[in-house]
Amino acid sequence: MEFLCIGLSHRTAPLGVRERLALPDARQVDLLQRLAQSPNEAFLVSTCNRVELYLAAPDMNRVRESARNELHTLGGPETLEHLYEHRGEDALVHLFRVASSLDSMVLGEAQILGQVKDAFERGQGSGAVRGELTRVCAAAFGCAKRVRTETAIGRAATSMASAAVALASKVFDGLKDKTVLLVGAGEMAELAARHLKQAGATKLLVANRTLARAEALAAEVGATARSFDELFTLLTAADVVVCSTASPVPIFTKENVGAVAKARKHRTLFMVDLAVPRDIAPEVGELDWVHAYDVDDIQKFVADNAAARAEEAQKAGVLVAQEVARFVRDRAVRNGVPVLAQLRQRGEAIARAEVDRTLAAIGDGLTDKQRKSVEAMARAIVNKLLHEPTARLRAVGPEHEGNRLAGAAAELFGLEEAPPSTETAGPNVVANGGKG
C-alpha cells in the first residue's frame, strides 16, 4: 500500500477557494466512499484552514487522478492551481506534523488534533478507513501527544478564537462594558466565549438557529441566549460580533448590516468571521463604521506570535521525524514477517526431510542421543543460515527498503507469496510550488 496526501491549506489557497471545498458531513462521507473502494482507504480533514485527503492504495496513480478530479469538480478549475501532494513517507511526515499542530495557522493550537481525530472517526464510520490508515492515524496521534508532552509549543499558543478576541480588544482598547454577540453555538463559539470572559467582556449574547444549543452554551459560559430571529435587532446593540456557524451562505451582507447603521448612529462595529464558508460577506468591510475580519485576516494578526514558539517547533519537528521513522521501521518489519515465517518454514522442512532421509539410510545403527544430535545439527545449520537475512529484514529502516529486501528474499528462495512491494517513498510532488 502506498500513501498520498492531496489538498490545500491557508498556506497555498485563499479563503475563497477553501470555502468552496467546505463540505457538510454527509457529502464528506459520499466522497470518501467513492474514493475508498476496497482495497483503497481514505479520510478527509476539513477545517477552516485546510482540506486534505489522505489515501492508502496499492495502485496510487489511479486513486490520485480520482481524488484530483473530485476536488476539481467540487472547487472548480482554480482549485488545481493551489493543490499540493505528499507521497509515500512525505505524506506520513505531513500528517504527523498536521496532527501535532506544526502546520497550523496558529502554531501549537490544540484544536487541530481533535479535528483530525474527528476526520479519522468519520472515515472509520463510513468504512473508508480500515487497517492501514488505522495504524497510520494511531501513530500520528501518539506523535501529537508526545509533542504536547515533551515540548512547550502549546503552552503559549494563540488559538483562532483568542486571536480574534485580542484583535477586538485592540480595536476598542479593552472590552469592558462592550456588548458581544456570538453567532453560532459550536466549539469555536465556546472557545471565543471563554476568551472573551478572560478579556473582561461581561455582556455576552448567544444567537443560534437552534435555540436549545444557544441556551446550553449560554448557561455554560455565563451569557444570555437569544432567538436567531432577533439577530438584526441584536446587531443594533452589539459592539462586537463573532461568527462561527455552518451556514453555506453569508448571514451578514453589506445590505442587511448597512440597514442598521442609522439605528446604531454609525457607532463602530467589530465583526470577526471564524467560519468557512464565510458568515460575513467580504463587502461588509466596505462600510466605513465596520471593522470586518475573516480567518485570513486573523492569520496575519497571529503571524507575529509564531516567532516566540519557533524554538519549540524545532524540538517538535525532531520528535515528528523520530516518530515517523519508528512507524516506517515497524511497518517494514510487519511487511517482512510473512517472508520470515515462510523462509523459516522452508528451511525447517528441508532440514527435516534431509534428517529423515539420513536416519533412514543409517537404519538402527544410532542411539537416541545420536539421532537427537543429528536433528540438532540440522536445526543449527538452518538457524545460522537464516540468522543474517532475518536480522536484516527486522532491522530495516525506510519502508521501501524493507519491502525490497522481503520481495528479493521471496524471489530468491522461491516462496509462493511475497508481501506488497509496490510502495515507494518518493519526493514531494507539489502543485504550483505550494507546501502543506
**Residues with active-site annotation:** 48
Instruction: Name the β-bridge partners of 226.
Output: 207
Annotated binding residue 81 = no
Annotated binding residue 85 = no
Q: Specify whether the backbone of 152 is left (phi greater than 0), alpha (psi in -120 to 50) or beta.
A: alpha
Instruction: Name the β-bridge partners of 292.
Output: 271
412: Cβ–Cβ under 8 A, 6 or more apart, which residues?
none
Annotated binding residue 390 = no
Annotated binding residue 308 = no
Annotated binding residue 354 = no
Annotated binding residue 111 = yes
Measuring CA to CA, which residue among 48, 140, 28, 35 is closest to residue 95?
140
Annotated binding residue 52 = no
77: Cβ–Cβ under 8 A, 6 or more apart, which residues?
none
Measuring CA to CA, which residue among 245, 244, 269, 246 is closest to residue 256?
269
Distance separating alpha carbons of residues 105 and 111, to the nearest angstrom: 11
**SS3 of 2, please?**
strand
Residue 355 exposure: Cα atoms within 13 Å on the Cβ side: 20
Distance separating alpha carbons of residues 2 and 153, to the nearest angstrom: 31
Annotated binding residue 285 = no
Annotated binding residue 38 = no
**SS3 of 202, please?**
coil
In this structure, how many other beta carbons lie within 10 angstroms of the beta carbon of residue 207?
A: 28
Annotated binding residue 108 = no
Annotated binding residue 110 = yes
Annotated binding residue 115 = yes
Annotated binding residue 124 = no
Binding site for NADP(+), residues? 184-189
Binding residues for substrate: 47-50, 104, 109-111, 115
Q: Which residues are annotated as a binding site?
A: 47-50, 104, 109-111, 115, 184-189
